[in-house]
Structure 1
Amino acid sequence: MARYDDLPYRTCVGIMLFNERGLVFIGRRAGIEQVDDQHVWQMPQGGVDPGEDTWLAAKRELYEETSIRSVEKLAEVSDWLIYDIPRTVAGRAWKGRYRGQRQKWYAMRFTGKDNEIDVANPGDGHKPEFIAWRWEPMQNLTRLIVPFKRPVYERVVKEFTSLSGG
């Protein structure tokens, strides 16, 4: 296995999904990135396939994790946001191939009804990544995420605050 410092970043997208009340979708993870029982929530995110447009990847990942298709694009963060995973997790996450993620973040408005959301049976038959979900005020997001992703979430919240109405 390559040394941690020599590992590349995985290219990904992240989605801040707003409902009509300005609340943000979060899902409760059940996975290897979990470091404790309190920081188990996150917004949808996932890998970008080689050559794939990041906006299309964001819509695909949202569908594969939540079954949601009813969205409209609101904004995107112009920069790529990067985080490192803890060395203690690096050997287990993504088969030890990456040291963290390089993410393009999008804000979307959910235009459907809550019954469209199905994290237990996500789109295209993908394995569920979330075991629960809820709508949460944006200002609560950074305290619910695993600490190593917190700087990225702080930046995403800052970038998209005006979209929440608060």
Structure 2
Amino acid sequence: MTDPATLPYRPCAGIMILNKDGKVFVGQRVDSEVEAWQMPQGGIDPGEDAEEAAYRELFEETGIAREHVSLVAISPEELFYDLPPELVGKVWKGKWRGQRQIWFLFRFHGEDSDVDIHTDHQEFIVWRWIEPAALPSMIVPFKKKLYEDVLAAFADHL
């Protein structure tokens, strides 16, 4: 088995979407055997900058078009998480030990009808708006610290 410490982190963009009521979008993952909620996130393609990746992932995972959001803030530094040892080698074809993410905070100006999770790259089976403070308790345990860091990075805007 490959030593996880020798693997790189996958470069990703993370997306926090705030609605007009100050609540945050979360979706329940389609590929999880447990009830796993998360905010949209995804890999940065070669040659793509992080902000473009964020807009692409936003649309691919939520169906929310760029014109329905405005960029509020970008995390001041990359945030990291490690996969649990039992998942290293099982996800992402064993190429990564976890993710390094640049997070983007978007304000959603659309209506709930502008959200469509039934996309070509469907990630979620259901979605909802929640209070930001509830995020760490809803996420899989190995991402809890990451979500606490995201909340801290955007605290002035929440």
Q: TM-score, normalising length from structure 1?
A: 0.89
Partner of 2:27: 27
Out of 134, 154, 157, the position equivalent to 2:148 is 154
Unaligned runs of 5+ in 2: none
| Matched positions, count | 156
For residue 37 of structure 1, what is the amino acid of its counterpart?
V
Q: CA deviation at 1:163?
A: 1.9
Q: Secondary structure at the match of 1:58?
A: helix
Distance 1:7 1:104 in 2: 19
Confirm or deny: 8 A CA contact 2:117 2:126 kept in the other structure. yes
Q: Secondary structure at the match of 1:89?
A: coil
Confirm or deny: 8 A CA contact 2:76 2:153 kept in the other structure. no
Asked if residue 86 in structure 1 is aligned to residue 84 in structure 2, the reply is yes
Distance 1:143 1:161 in 2: 17
Distance 1:96 1:159 in 2: 30
For residue 153 of structure 2, what is the amino acid of its counterpart?
E
Correspondence list, 1:1-166, <5 A = 2-31=2-31, 34=32, 37-38=34-35, 40-69=36-65, 70-120=68-118, 122=119, 125-126=120-121, 128-164=122-158
Q: CA deviation at 1:30?
A: 2.6
Distance 1:113 1:163 in 2: 21
For residue 107 of structure 2, what is the amino acid of its counterpart?
R
Unaligned runs of 5+ in 1: none
Q: CA deviation at 1:131?
A: 0.5
Q: CA deviation at 1:3?
A: 2.7
Q: TM-score, normalising length from structure 2?
A: 0.94
Confirm or deny: 8 A CA contact 1:22 1:163 kept in the other structure. no
Q: CA deviation at 1:5?
A: 1.7
Q: Secondary structure at the match of 1:90?
A: coil
Distance 1:150 1:9 in 2: 17
Distance 1:142 1:2 in 2: 30
For residue 95 of structure 1, what is the amino acid of its counterpart?
K
Q: Which runs of 4+ in 1 moved over 4 A?
A: none
Distance 2:5 2:149 in 1: 24
Q: Secondary structure at the match of 2:147?
A: helix
Distance 1:162 1:4 in 2: 35
